[in-house]
Amino acid sequence: MTEQDFIPKPYSKTLENGSVNWSSPSNIALVKYWGKKEHQIPENPSISFTLDHCKTTTTLSFSKKETSDSFSFDVFLDGEQKDSFKSKIETFFKRIECYLPFLRDYHFKIETSNTFPHSSGIASSASGMSALALCLMSIERNLSSALEETDKYFNQKASFLARLGSGSACRSIEGDLIVWGAHKEIDGSSDLFGVKYPHGVHQNFKNYQDTILLVDKGKKQVSSTVGHDLMHNHPFAIRRFEQAHENMSKLINIFKNGDVDAFVKIVESEALTLHAMMMTSMPYFILMKPNTLEIINKIWAYRNKTNSKVCFTLDAGANVHVLYPENEKETVLEFVKNQLVEYCQNGHYINDQIGFGAQQIGE
Ligand code: DP6
C-alpha cells in the first residue's frame, strides 16, 4: 500500500447530516517510536500492547455547509467547549484533507471524553486521534458504496489517518499487539499504518496486565513532538534506530517461546533508552521524576526477592507502566498497594490490561 491508495474514488452517495460514535483505547509501546521523518514517518518500527480501560469516546456530528472554503468545527471535552484543542485538530485536518475530500463540506461537532482524567499525564493523543479518525472513516463509509470498503481497508485507512494526527495513535485501532513501521521479519508491516502482529504469541503473553502509576499529573515540560524533533542530528540516533530493529527481531522469538525473562530485559531497556535519548538530546531534558526512579528500584528489588516477572515501561513522561503476566495479578496488586502507591501523586493509579481495539458505539 502507498499513500495514493488512500485517496478515495469520487463518492457515490450524498449525506446532509448525521452523527457517528467510536471509542478507542490508548496503547503502551514495548519497542518505542522516538524520532520521525516528514509526514509522520517513523525512524524505526515500534510494537505496542493495546490497552483496554484507558480510552477516549468521541461523537462526531456533521451537517452540510453552504460553502466549502474552510474547515469548520467545535470541540468539547466532557461537555465543555475546548478551543485550546482546535489548532491540533486544524493541523490534523490539513494533513488528511487529500485523503478525505469531504472535510470542508461539513460543520463538525466533536464531543469527546476520556475514561482517565485529562490531567493524569496519560497521553490522550493516541486514543483521541484514533477515535476521531475512526469517526471520519465511518462518515466516508456512508458516502461510499459498501462494496468499495472492506473492513481491512477501513482499519488500515483509519490507522493511516490516525498516524497523521499522532504517530502512536495508528497503533490503537486494533489489538492486542500492534506493529507500526516496516521491519524485515514482519510481513505486511508498514511505515504508513499499524498492523496486527502476525506471528505466534505464547500463552504467557495473553491478557498481560498494565497498572499505570500516576507519578506526575502535570503538563510535560517538553512535548513528544519537540522530543521527536530532537532526534534529528542526535549523536546516538542512527545506532538507536538500528537497535529498535534488533529488539523487534528478538521479540519475535520471545513472543513465540514465551520467555518472559528475556521480554523483561528488552522492555525495560527500551524504556530507559527512550529516556536516555531525551537526556542526550541538545537541548537535553529529563521527564522522569524522583518517584519514577524510586518505583523502578522497588520493582527491581521485588523481582530479586521473588520469582516475579513484573517489569516497568515508561512513555514520554514520569508515569510508570507496571507490566506483568495475568497469573501474577493478585500478588503484584498487593505489591503495588504496599510498596508503590506511596510514590503516586495523590495515591492514584489505574489498573488496565491488554485490549482488542476500538469499537463503534452507534450511528
Ligand atoms: C514515547 O505519538 O505522541 O510514547 O507523532 O508527535 O504525536 P507524535 O508523537 P507521539 O509519540 C509517542 C512516543 C512514545 C513512544 C511510543 O508510543 O512508541
Average pLDDT, the chain: 95
> Using CA atoms, how far apart are residues 313 and 264, in angstroms rounded to an integer?
9
Query: Reduced to 3 states, what is the DSSP secondary structure of residue 157?
Result: helix
Mean pLDDT of 59-78: 96
**204-226, pLDDT tens digit by residue?**
999 999 999 999 987 778 889 99
**262 C-alpha vs ligand 1 centroid, how far in Å?**
24
> Using CA atoms, how far apart are residues 145 and 151, in angstroms rounded to an integer?
13
Q: Report whether pLDDT(320) > 70.
A: yes
Using a pLDDT cut of 90, give the percent of the chain over it.
Answer: 92
Please, which pLDDT band fits residue 117 given cuts at 50, 70 and 90? confident
Mean pLDDT of 245-271: 98
β-bridge partners, 120:
none
Side chain identity, residue 43: E
Mean pLDDT of 343-357: 96
Which residue has the CA at smallest separation from atom 7 of ligand 1?
Answer: 166
> Using CA atoms, how far apart are residues 281 and 105, in angstroms rounded to an integer?
43
Confidence (pLDDT) at 322? 98
Q: Which pTM was predicted? A: 0.97
Say which residues have a Cβ less than 8 Å from residue 230's Cβ, sequence separation at least 6.
Answer: 278, 281, 282, 283
- The CA–CA distances, whole Å, from 341 to 1, 109, 197, 215, 308 equal 46, 39, 33, 9, 18
Contact 278, 287 (CB under 8 A): yes
User: What domains can you pick out in the chain, each with its CATH number?
Assistant: 3-199 (3.30.230.10), 207-353 (3.30.70.890)
- Ligand 1 site, residue 247, Cβ cutoff 6 A: no
Sign of dihedral through CA atoms 204, 207, 208, 211?
negative
Confidence (pLDDT) at 337? 98
Measured between its terminal Cα atoms, the distance across the chain in Å is: 29
- From the CA of 40, give the closest atom in ligand 1: 5
- Ligand 1 site, residue 50, Cβ cutoff 6 A: no
- Ligand 1 site, residue 189, Cβ cutoff 6 A: no
DSSP state of 283: S
**52 C-alpha vs ligand 1 centroid, how far in Å?**
19
- Ligand 1 site, residue 167, Cβ cutoff 6 A: yes
> Using CA atoms, how far apart are residues 101 and 80, in angstroms rounded to an integer?
29
**166 C-alpha vs ligand 1 centroid, how far in Å?**
7
Confidence (pLDDT) at 146? 66
- Ligand 1 site, residue 316, Cβ cutoff 6 A: yes
Which residue has the CA at smallest separation from atom 12 of ligand 1?
Answer: 168
**193-206, pLDDT tens digit by residue?**
999 999 999 999 99
Q: Report whether pLDDT(335) > 80.
A: yes
Angle at 213 between CA 78 and CA 123, to 5 degrees: 45
Query: Reduced to 3 states, what is the DSSP secondary structure of residue 273?
Result: helix
DSSP state of 354: B
DSSP state of 105: G
- Ligand 1 site, residue 274, Cβ cutoff 6 A: yes
> Using CA atoms, how far apart are residues 316 and 301, in angstroms rounded to an integer?
24
Confidence (pLDDT) at 20? 97
- Ligand 1 site, residue 319, Cβ cutoff 6 A: no
- The CA–CA distances, whole Å, from 119 to 206, 227, 265 equal 30, 20, 31
Q: Is the peptide bond before 176 cis (omega within 30 degrees of 0)?
A: yes
**36-67, pLDDT tens digit by residue?**
999 999 999 999 999 999 999 999 999 999 99
Pocket of ligand 1, candidates 34, 127, 224: which has the most ligand atoms within 8 Å of its Cβ, to mutate?
Answer: 224
> Using CA atoms, how far apart are residues 90 and 278, in angstroms rounded to an integer?
28
- Ligand 1 site, residue 163, Cβ cutoff 6 A: no
Longest dimension (CA), the chain: 68
DSSP state of 184: T
- Ligand 1 site, residue 209, Cβ cutoff 6 A: no
Pocket of ligand 1, candidates 41, 96, 168, 292: which has the most ligand atoms within 8 Å of its Cβ, to mutate?
Answer: 168
Mean pLDDT of 2-13: 94
- Ligand 1 site, residue 224, Cβ cutoff 6 A: yes
- Ligand 1 site, residue 26, Cβ cutoff 6 A: no
Our measurement of the distance from residue 116's CA atom to the centroid of its chain's CA atoms, rounded to an integer in Å, reads 15
> Using CA atoms, how far apart are residues 46 and 43, in angstroms rounded to an integer?
10
**139 C-alpha vs ligand 1 centroid, how far in Å?**
27
Confidence (pLDDT) at 120? 66
Confidence (pLDDT) at 21? 98
> Using CA atoms, how far apart are residues 309 and 7, in angstroms rounded to an integer?
46
Pairing state of beta strands 106-114 and 72-77? parallel
- From the CA of 32, give the closest atom in ligand 1: 18
Q: Report whether pLDDT(182) > 80.
A: yes
Pocket of ligand 1, candidates 27, 88, 178, 228: which has the most ligand atoms within 8 Å of its Cβ, to mutate?
Answer: 228
Please, which pLDDT band fits residue 83 given cuts at 50, 70 and 90? very high
Phi-psi region of 163 (alpha: psi -120 to 50; beta: other; left: phi over 0): alpha
Q: Report whether pLDDT(124) > 90.
A: no
Contact 345, 122 (CB under 8 A): no
